[in-house]
A and B are shown apart, each in its own frame.
Chain A
Amino acid sequence: MRRDVVVGRFHQEPMVIDAVHAVRSCGLRIADVYSPYPIHRLDEAMAIARSRLPLVALAGGVGGLIAALALELYTSVIDWPLNVGGKPDASLLAFIPIAFELTILGAGLATAAGLLIRSRLAPFGAAPVVDRSATDDTFAVVVHCRDSAIDRRLVEQLLLNYGAMSVESRGLPR
């Protein structure tokens, strides 16, 4: 079995950040960090790019808005105009509430769908790769390294110096 990552398990958040900084300043690559809750400074430490989900939400919202206005105008003006209390067929002011609701609906559903698709979340998706306790109380830092005993020893020692409770070399997850 190839062993090209080193997994360091931590029990405290600040140590994780320090370890990630140290690993990266040594020129090593972080495969990923698994944690029971989001660590804000990790985005910066791991140089994770800003998500483009806001654009997905915008697209969903615009789609919802266009769909709502198209539905309202087509049914009330083109397909079957009905005189209700003498109000104009194209009562745009009265169409605003439903257009607003469908804008929100489109944006919300697009955001959720975007999150699930981009993060590959699906029913019975991949089982936890590193450690079952990474969803409980453990922070697992996974570092890429060459498949050589010397490199592995160095990375393991680095993680231990930064407070890892245990280290382990194994194959790349997934």
Chain B
Amino acid sequence: MIAWSAPAADRHAEPPSRRRTRWIDGDPTLRDITDDVMRPLTSRPGAAWWAAFAVAASALAIGAASVTYEVTTGIGTWGLNKTVGWAFDITNFVFWVGIGHAGTLISAILLLLRQQWRTAISRSAEAMTIFAVMCAAMFPLIHMGRPWLAFWVLPYPNSRGPLWVNFRSPLLWDVFAINTYLTISLVFWYVGMIPDFATLRDRAQSPLRRFAYSMLSLGWDGSARTWSRYETASTLLAGLATPLVISVHTIVSMDFATSVLPGWHATIFPPYFVAGAVFSGFAMVLTLLIIVRRVMRLERYITLRHLDAMAKIMLLTGSIVGLAYATEFYNAWYGHNVYERAVFLNRVTGPYAWGFWIMVGCNACAPQLLWIRRLRRNVPILFALSIAVNVGMWFERFIIIVTSLHRSFLPSTWTMYRPSMIEVGTLIGSFGLFFTCFLLFVRLLPMIAMWEVKALAGHRDEATR
């Protein structure tokens, strides 16, 4: 049977009830999308970008100076002592690993759940994951004191026996978890960018750009057979990244949970840490995107509805974190363990109680405002809340780590911990590294997945035809 005539126009019209929420404002054509996403890559950076870059690079310089001083002088430049042997560095490590988790959640878990709103934000969230994991990995490295011997944590045949690493130690699990997470995140990020690199290659004006993008785009031509295979690979990588991201923070929590210290030795830690990680990560995504959508003029793609959806996830995970706090206290009361009780009483009323109340206020109470729909779409309020959650989640890790250590079983060992300027400088430096990388990312790589947004726009054409 030969189908010579064109089909009737309404063949693909869907009933209005099946139309989904629209995640793009206005009616951009496919070419508009390419133009809008490429604009930051080809235009000159504005004053706002230079100002932000200057601040970020200065913070990075402070960090570099602090780390150089610490490495050349010794760990004694930190405020650690015999009782509190872990404090600022591990707090920052857990904080930054947690930040990364939202990126994987957005790019992998929401992909599997077929949430269309992830398309506009997934690329920048994945970039955030990679930069955050880089910041996190820095802290155990410098805490080694001799970071040039960091390769000793890897099991390789050596001339010391060979003396192998201890596979029963949660700290070694961390090494494998963080490295796997960084590797898989990088692969996922890069594979996701190949089609966009091809778009950039085909539109590049200067020979240098064309050279770089032809190398990166791996000869991508948009063939339907390749697309089909590509989609299978994306789904597989998403399916692999999902249990991976849960395992990473589970293992991070086991650094504490497998010890016998009151306040750390809790079976609730893995889910509690994973929820907290997603919570803090979404706060950081919101902080970044609220700034970027404004500065890069991408409000059309990162709409108020996107911010609203992220706020809902923050509300959910923030409530889980609040429940976890309550559960810990319930266990301490119900468990009849005097040491456990003393630690939790000390958290609420002891010398670090101010930090505890910042944590409860910022993480458990403040996000409850997000039940109100009007506030979820109010950009200044969302921005303020996202900063509050970032601060609160940093304090959560500080409180868990320091209050459990500084007054443990032996009262004669009790002491206080105060960070030194070098430690504060290193924390500032990690923020500098993170924001410097992110600012370079928005200028050098397409920060919105063009092909995914185009698919959304294309399917919309179809639905309304």
Contacts and interface: CB of A to CB of B under 8 A. Distances in A.
- The reply to whether chain A is a binding partner of chain B is yes
A171 interface: no
Interface string A84-101: 100100010011011011
A48 B369 CA distance: 50
Contacts, number: 229
A53 to B, nearest CB: 5
Interface in B161-186: 161-170, 172-173, 176-177, 180, 183-184
Contacts of B231: 38, 40
B181 to A, nearest CB: 8
B225 A32 contact: yes
Given A13-B461, A21-B3, A53 B219 contact: no
Interface string B187-214: 1100100110011011100000000001
A162 B219 contact: no
Contacts of A161: 4-6
B12 interface: yes
A14 B228 contact: no
Interface residues of A, number: 76
Given A37-B451, A115-B191, A32 B164 contact: no
Interface string B229-245: 11111001100110110
Helix, strand, loop or mixed for chain B's interface? Answer: helix
Nearest to B183: A105
Contacts of B201: 135
B interface bracket (residues with beta carbon within 8 Å of A): 35 or more
B7 A18 contact: yes
Given A13-B461, A75-B155, A79-B164, A135 B222 contact: yes
A121 to B, nearest CB: 4
Nearest to A19: B6
A132 B203 CA distance: 8
Given A101-B247, A125-B218, A137-B31, A51 B12 contact: no
B2 A26 contact: yes
Interface string A1-40: 0000000000011100010011001100000111111111
A63 interface: no
A107 B173 CA distance: 18
Contact of A35 (B162, B165, B177, B222): B222
Contacts of A51: 228-229, 232-233
A37 B166 CA distance: 47
A54 B168 contact: no
Given A75-B164, A97-B251, A101-B177, A12 B226 contact: no
Nearest to B451: A37
A115 B224 contact: no
A100 B247 contact: yes
A75 to B, nearest CB: 4
B409 to A, nearest CB: 18
Nearest to A74: B164
A104 B461 contact: no
A109 B176 contact: no
A122 interface: yes
Contacts of B251: 97
Contacts of B7: 18
Interface of B: 1-7, 11-12, 29-31, 34, 155, 161-170, 172-173, 176-177, 180, 183-184, 187-188, 191, 194-195, 198-199, 201-203, 214-216, 218-233, 236-237, 240-241, 243-244, 247, 251, 254, 450-452, 454-455, 458-459, 461-462, 465
B34 A53 contact: no
Contacts of A120: 219
Interface in A94-143: 94-95, 97-98, 100-102, 104-105, 107-109, 111-112, 114-116, 118-130, 132-137
A87 B247 contact: no
B237 A102 contact: no
19 contacts: A22-B4, A26-B2, A46-B224, A54-B236, A75-B165, A82-B164, A100-B243, A100-B247, A101-B176, A109-B187, A111-B237, A111-B240, A115-B233, A121-B218, A127-B214, A134-B222, A135-B220, A137-B30, A137-B31
Contacts of B232: 50-51, 53-54
Nearest to A32: B223
A128 B202 contact: yes
A135 B198 contact: yes
Interface in A41-60: 42-43, 46, 48, 50-51, 53-54, 57
B462 A13 contact: yes
Contact of B219 (A94, A125, A137): A125
A165 interface: no
A80 B163 contact: yes
Given A76-B168, A125-B218, A137-B31, 7 more contacts: A36-B199, A50-B232, A98-B176, A107-B236, A121-B194, A121-B219, A128-B198
A37 B180 contact: no
Given A108-B237, A133-B202, A136-B31, A84 B180 contact: no
